[in-house]
Amino acid sequence: MVSTASATRAGTRTRPIRAARARPGAVLTVIAAGTLAVLGLWWSGTPQVSGLADWLTGAGRITGLLAAYGIAVLLALMARIPALERGVGSDRLARWHAMGGRYVVGLAVAHTLLIIWRYALADGTGVAGETATLILSYPDVLAATAAVLLLVGVGTVSARAIRPRLRYETWFHLHFYTYLAAWLAFGHQLSTGGEFVGSPVARAAWYALYLAVAAVLAWYRFLTPIRQAVRHRLRVDRVEAEAPGVVSVYVSGRELDRLKAEPGQFFRWRFLTRDLWWSPNPYSLSAAPRPGELRITVKGLGDHSARLASLRRGTRVIAEGPSGAFAPGRPRHGRKVLLVAGGVGITPLRALFEAIPAAPGDLTLLYRARSEEDLVFRAELEEIAHRRGAAVHYCVGPREQVGDPFAPAVLTALLPELARYEVYVCGPAGMTGAATSALRAAGVPNRRIHRESFEF
């Protein structure tokens, strides 16, 4: 492990941008309160439950209501609401979305099977025959069945065994079928749901929920990127090579301060070329925003990222964001800061290293790379370290040669007061998981460990 450090100059302090940030605990509390409200809706419309038929009906209604509420929550989590993106973080929102998606698919399938069983029991028919009767006799049931199949399909392509095999662009666009599933299921809920048929208040509340989610989706996912493109007129200014297969794209525009972007955050970039316009991909800012300029740094790991090296000056750009809680303005519990980067995970941490508030001697960067050629921004990092009185430690080489750089004993030997540090970790999933486990084993409280993953 090679170290470069300097503590001869005063640290640079950047005033954090103040923006609304939703706390993760508060968001989960709101979701839980909504779940209780949905259960209360069923309870108020169910005078009694007796016999198998009533139990099946009750279970079917509960699972159906919770599945419908869950779809609305899942869509809201991915609506790019700035307070959620800044406070909770896009990667955490994505993990919540993935976990909630599994519950929603399970609830939707359970609702379907329970209701079919209940009607088959009442009519004295088989399950297969009753299924055909319900689908062919009730158009709303046919639409709801299509919605369930769409949800199962989206859930299948998002499974851990399948998701890594898909291109990001394919996975991204397949998820738009969730909107169609929500629309198909909505009419079925109101036309056949016992909680809504005789209750104008319940119908109004359900309409309000879905219309509110539709409004934030339309505003933040579709209208806001267009409005920002018109206002800021983003264009590619230049592309510079940083390392083998790694380029920095400099994007210029006007009034970029109104974006309120913070170092370490990311945008979803849509470069308006014939090959790239249709897919917005997430790339982090690799430097603090400058007047009239933003910089991202990308490694060519796929078709989209590899094509960025050939972007021409003047190419128009649409940027959706900023997103992510990986920023200097987020609340901190400790004065000392450790940044842990692996591979291309250096991009947001390079920006944080430049801007995060820290006194001389209180800021350390640990940078893991497989080879000297893979080190990106080395000259920039050492200049920042000299200017801020910070330390940079490189760990370079195959693991069989360098050992485990994230072993608790190695980390505590490097930083004896590690448990008092605020730690930011970014890199490949395996490296991030290993570093996080080692930090916890070394005594760093979980609330002081902030991670960002590229897998969402």
Residue 310 DSSP class:
G
Distance CA 163, CA 455 (A): 10
Distance CA 411, CA 442 (A): 8
The hierarchical CATH code for the domain 236-323 is 2.40.30.10
| Cis peptide bond prior to 263, omega within 30° of 0 | no
Domain ranges for the chain, please list them. Answer: 2-13+328-452, 24-228, 236-323
Distance CA 336, CA 361 (A): 8
296 membership: H or E segment, kind and range: strand 293-299
- The CA–CA distances, whole Å, from 212 to 73, 165, 217, 339 equal 11, 35, 9, 39
pLDDT in single tens digits along all 456 residues of the chain = 444 443 333 333 444 445 677 888 899 999 999 999 999 888 877 766 677 777 887 888 899 899 999 999 999 998 989 889 888 888 888 889 889 999 999 999 998 888 888 878 777 777 787 778 777 777 777 888 888 888 888 888 877 777 777 777 677 777 888 888 888 888 777 766 667 767 788 888 889 999 999 999 999 988 998 899 899 999 999 999 998 889 999 999 999 999 989 998 999 999 999 888 888 888 999 999 999 999 999 987 777 788 898 999 999 999 998 888 787 767 667 689 999 998 888 999 999 999 999 999 999 999 998 888 888 899 999 999 999 999 999 988 887 777 788 889 889 988 999 989 999 999 888 888 889 999 999 999 988 888 876 554
Distance CA 430, CA 450 (A): 15
The terminus-to-terminus CA distance of the chain in angstroms comes to 31
Backbone torsions φ then ψ of 283, nearest 5 degrees: -135, 135
Cβ atoms 177, 154 nearer than 8 A: yes
Q: How many C-beta atoms surround the C-beta of residue 439 within 10 A? A: 25
- The CA–CA distances, whole Å, from 158 to 70, 161, 204, 432, 438 equal 17, 8, 33, 21, 29
Q: What is the 3-state secondary structure (H, E, C) of 88-131?
A: CCHHHHHHHHHHHHHHHHHHHHHHHHHHHHHHHHHHCCCHHHHH
pTM of the model: 0.77
Tokens representing 6 are 């300097």
The hierarchical CATH code for the domain 2-13+328-452 is 3.40.50.80
